[in-house]
Chains A and B, each alone.
Chain A
Amino acid sequence: MVEVRIHKKLGSGTAQFTLHTDLTIAEGSLLTLYGPSGSGKTSLLRVIAGLLPPDKGNITFQGRTWFDSEKKINLPPQKRNIGYVFQDYALFPNMTVIENLKFAKSKSAPDNIIADLLDIMDLATLANRKPATLSGGQKQRVALARALVQQPDILLLDEPLAALDMDMRLSLQDHILDAHKKLGLTTIMVSHDLGEIMKLSDTTAILKEGRITQLGPPGELFMEKHISGKFQFTGTVLHLIQQDVIYIVSVLIGNNIVKVVAHPSEIGGILPGDKVVVASKAFNPVIYKISGNSVSE
């Protein structure tokens, strides 16, 4: 169990706010942090990793104190046994893929762990390449493998998939989920992608200006209406066109653009750019007007 009860002043000038959390993360849970940029998601990861000292509060991991402002305890990142996948991957440019992994391995870790991870992550053929010669997806796999070599208690992922295309994302999501389950990790991940959040996490915390405004299973947070849908996808609204009495909504789901017909009452406050759920119920009668009085003048 990880408990994070901290205050930390962030930002500067007019954009100042306080990161203030009282968060308990169950062991083995996969928590995603969601929220607008600049809401403190990355800072929260850094606080947990020990890279950013809070102003006050305490952090405990399995009953062990990592940080306590009153008792003046601040365990350095070196002693927290954390695997951190940075947004820029932070691969060491002077080392090859396998050297990066070897550098991260602690003496107590079994010797075959590197070979195993190279295999699992499909990196064996790239083992002797330098990071500069790798593609984004390959770098991301190396970064994830390197974090796992450490056999961490907690895995922290800072938008690891943001820069990747859809296919690569999907396959790496599986890698993350696999590792998380197999190794019994406690994972905290920053993500902006609702599909990813739904697929991977069991708990989501929504951050706004440094505070967790909502916490719970992502299904409940993002689908307040509890649609008992057979199919449901999340996507981004591209544009809305009103045609007679209905709206045609173009939604970007994955890399497909889907047109959805919607009743004005469903449109509510939906605007282009909003994240939406497109769901199809088991029975979905549709009524079209064929003839009658014209509505338009």
Chain B
Amino acid sequence: MNWEPLRLTFELAMTTTIVLLVVSVPLAFWLSKTTSRIKPVIETLVSMPLVLPPTVLGFYFLLAFSPNNAFGSWINEWLGIQLVFSFGGLVVASVIYSLPFMVQPIQAGLTSLPPSLSEAAATMGKSARIQLFRVLLPNIRKSLLTGIVLAFAHTVGEFGVVLMIGGNIPGETRVASIAIYDEVESLNYVAANSYSLILFALTFALLLLVYLLNGGYLKRFWKW
């Protein structure tokens, strides 16, 4: 069995999750605090990937990232990165595709904390940054973990977006989900089955972890 698609899947999921964490924490913090009129618009945009067919997203990425377009050629010229049919492009697309899975749990966690926590820290002379990192985030560990696991799992399960903008380049964009499709096309059911089983087991394990942790089952278990 060729392990490359699986390695690529994890690499993509890992990179995407890390980038998402960096992007989502400030975004969720802003969304949880702001009274701005554009808040609902931003929230809608963040949630769009939940309901939009991945092919729609992939199609527009394809147009935007294409070197024939202003944005694509600008990226290509200034950063020397080609985003179509490349790993870098997959990361960018995955970050946007999995954004709601990271932002929403963190935002919900932050909103659930009493406002008096950050207000108390403010009266102690602490900046918004210290409030966020020392008071707010440590108290929403479960939400952070939920966001991390869901974003990771969702990226593992990505197919349509990858197919549109990544294509099927071995070692570059041929992730496990694409490999399964490819093996089935060439009637190689055994290989398709081994990829599928691994993804199935992994996804099950990841989601189980979230439910165990958030349900407090592990805590109860450890107490004994």
The distance from the CB of A50 to the nearest CB of chain B, in whole angstroms, is 8
Give chain A interface residues in 60-116, CB to chain B under 8 Å: 76-84, 86-88, 90, 92-94, 103-104, 106
Would A77 and B122 be within 8 Å (CB), given that A86-B116, A90-B114, A90-B117 are in contact? yes
The answer to whether A80 and B139 have CB atoms under 8 Å apart is no
Give chain B interface residues in 107-138, CB to chain A under 8 Å: 114, 116-117, 119-127, 134-135, 138
Question: What residues of chain A lie closer than 8 Å to B139, measured between beta carbons?
Answer: 92-94
Interface membership of A187, Cβ < 8 A: no
**Which among B116, B125, B134 is the interface contact of A90 at CB below 8 angstroms?**
B116
The answer to whether A106 and B125 have CB atoms under 8 Å apart is yes
The answer to whether B116 and A88 have CB atoms under 8 Å apart is yes
Would A78 and B117 be within 8 Å (CB), given that A51-B122, A92-B139, A93-B139 are in contact? no
The answer to whether B124 and A104 have CB atoms under 8 Å apart is yes
Overall SS of chain A's interface: loop
Interface membership of A237, Cβ < 8 A: no
**Which among B114, B121, B125, B126 is the interface contact of A88 at CB below 8 angstroms?**
B114
Question: What residues of chain A lie closer than 8 Å to B114, measured between beta carbons?
Answer: 88, 90
The answer to whether A103 and B138 have CB atoms under 8 Å apart is no
Size category of the binding interface on chain A:
20 to 34
**Residue in B closest to A85 when the chains form the complex, CB atoms:** B120
Interface membership of A43, Cβ < 8 A: no
Would A84 and B138 be within 8 Å (CB), given that A90-B114, A90-B117, A92-B117 are in contact? no
The answer to whether A78 and B135 have CB atoms under 8 Å apart is no
The distance from the CB of A97 to the nearest CB of chain B, in whole angstroms, is 15
Interface size on B, residues (CB 8 A): 16
Question: What residues of chain B lie closer than 8 Å to A150, measured between beta carbons?
Answer: 123-125
Question: What residues of chain B lie closer than 8 Å to A104, measured between beta carbons?
Answer: 124
The answer to whether B126 and A90 have CB atoms under 8 Å apart is no
Question: What residues of chain A lie closer than 8 Å to B134, measured between beta carbons?
Answer: 103
Question: What residues of chain B lie closer than 8 Å to A93, measured between beta carbons?
Answer: 139
Bound complex: CA A106 to CA B125 (Å): 8
**Residue in A closest to B127 when the chains form the complex, CB atoms:** A78
Counting chain B CB atoms within 10 Å of each CB, the highest count among A49, A81, A86 belongs to A86
Bound complex: CA A83 to CA B116 (Å): 13
Bound complex: CA A254 to CA B127 (Å): 43
**Residue in A closest to B119 when the chains form the complex, CB atoms:** A51
Bound complex: CA A275 to CA B116 (Å): 31
**Residue in B closest to A76 when the chains form the complex, CB atoms:** B122
Bound complex: CA A83 to CA B121 (Å): 10
The distance from the CB of B85 to the nearest CB of chain A, in whole angstroms, is 45
The answer to whether B135 and A92 have CB atoms under 8 Å apart is yes
**Which among B120, B126, B135 is the interface contact of A84 at CB below 8 angstroms?**
B120
Bound complex: CA A67 to CA B182 (Å): 67
Counting chain B CB atoms within 10 Å of each CB, the highest count among A77, A83, A88, A150 belongs to A77
Question: What residues of chain B lie closer than 8 Å to A77, measured between beta carbons?
Answer: 119, 122-123
Bound complex: CA A50 to CA B122 (Å): 9
The answer to whether B123 and A80 have CB atoms under 8 Å apart is yes
Interface string of A23-55 (1 = CB under 8 A from B): 000000000000000000000000001110000
The answer to whether A78 and B126 have CB atoms under 8 Å apart is yes
Question: What residues of chain A lie closer than 8 Å to B135, measured between beta carbons?
Answer: 92, 94, 103
Question: What residues of chain A lie closer than 8 Å to B127, measured between beta carbons?
Answer: 78
**Residue in B closest to A147 when the chains form the complex, CB atoms:** B123
Question: What residues of chain B lie closer than 8 Å to A103, measured between beta carbons?
Answer: 121, 124, 126, 134-135
The distance from the CB of A17 to the nearest CB of chain B, in whole angstroms, is 21
**Which among A82, A87, A92 is the interface contact of B123 at CB below 8 angstroms?**
A82
Question: What residues of chain A lie closer than 8 Å to B120, measured between beta carbons?
Answer: 84, 86, 90, 92
**Residue in A closest to B113 when the chains form the complex, CB atoms:** A93
The answer to whether B125 and A49 have CB atoms under 8 Å apart is no
Bound complex: CA A80 to CA B119 (Å): 13
Question: What residues of chain A lie closer than 8 Å to B124, measured between beta carbons?
Answer: 78, 103-104, 106, 150
Question: What residues of chain B lie closer than 8 Å to A50, measured between beta carbons?
Answer: 122-123
Would A94 and B138 be within 8 Å (CB), given that A88-B114, A88-B116 are in contact? yes
Which 7 pairs across A and B sit closest by C-beta, in order of nearness?
A90-B116, A94-B138, A90-B120, A86-B116, A77-B122, A84-B123, A78-B125
25 contacts between A and B (CB under 8 A): A50-B122, A50-B123, A77-B119, A77-B122, A78-B122, A78-B123, A78-B125, A78-B126, A81-B125, A83-B123, A84-B119, A88-B114, A88-B116, A90-B116, A92-B121, A92-B135, A93-B139, A94-B135, A94-B138, A103-B121, A103-B126, A103-B135, A104-B124, A106-B124, A150-B125
Q: A88-B116, A94-B135 are in contact. List 20 more A-B contacts (CB 8 A).
A: A50-B122, A51-B119, A51-B123, A76-B122, A77-B123, A78-B124, A79-B125, A80-B123, A81-B125, A84-B119, A86-B116, A90-B116, A93-B139, A103-B121, A104-B124, A106-B124, A106-B125, A150-B123, A150-B124, A150-B125
